[in-house]
Amino acid sequence: MDLGDLKAKVAPLRFEFDGETVNAKFYPHKLTPEDIARLQRQAKEEDENEEESLDTNAQMLSDVLDSWDVTAGGAPYPPTYENLLVAPQTLVARTVREILNVVGKLATPKKSKT
């Protein structure tokens, strides 16, 4: 197995948010233990330093999110770091949670039916 090939794999992501469906593609294997530790620290300290929390979510998402069908005024709204910093925190945080759910499932071995 080549880590470069693994990190280049794209996975679909689909979830409901505020009555709408968000469709996205992301790189599940780009998340590192360091990213997860940073997100866990952020969750514990979220009330103390909200600005850092926003930055961490935006940075992580911009690194792993390939694309999504979110628009602004009918125009595509690419998931760049700059765009994610000013997107609604509820959408950014929900997208992070959905990605972490998928990554958790990928990391959990499937039980054999024997």
| Dihedral-angle region of residue 35 (phi above 0 means left; psi in -120 to 50 means alpha; beta otherwise) | alpha
Distance CA 89, CA 87 (A): 6
More confident residue, 39 or 61: 61
pTM of the model: 0.81
Report CA-CA distances (Å) from 17 to 64, 71, 75, 88, 96.
19, 14, 19, 12, 13
pLDDT at 60: 87
Tens-place pLDDT, residues 12-52? 999 999 999 999 999 999 988 887 777 767 666 655 555 55
Question: What tokens were used for 46?
Answer: 């979220």
pLDDT for 108 beyond 80? yes
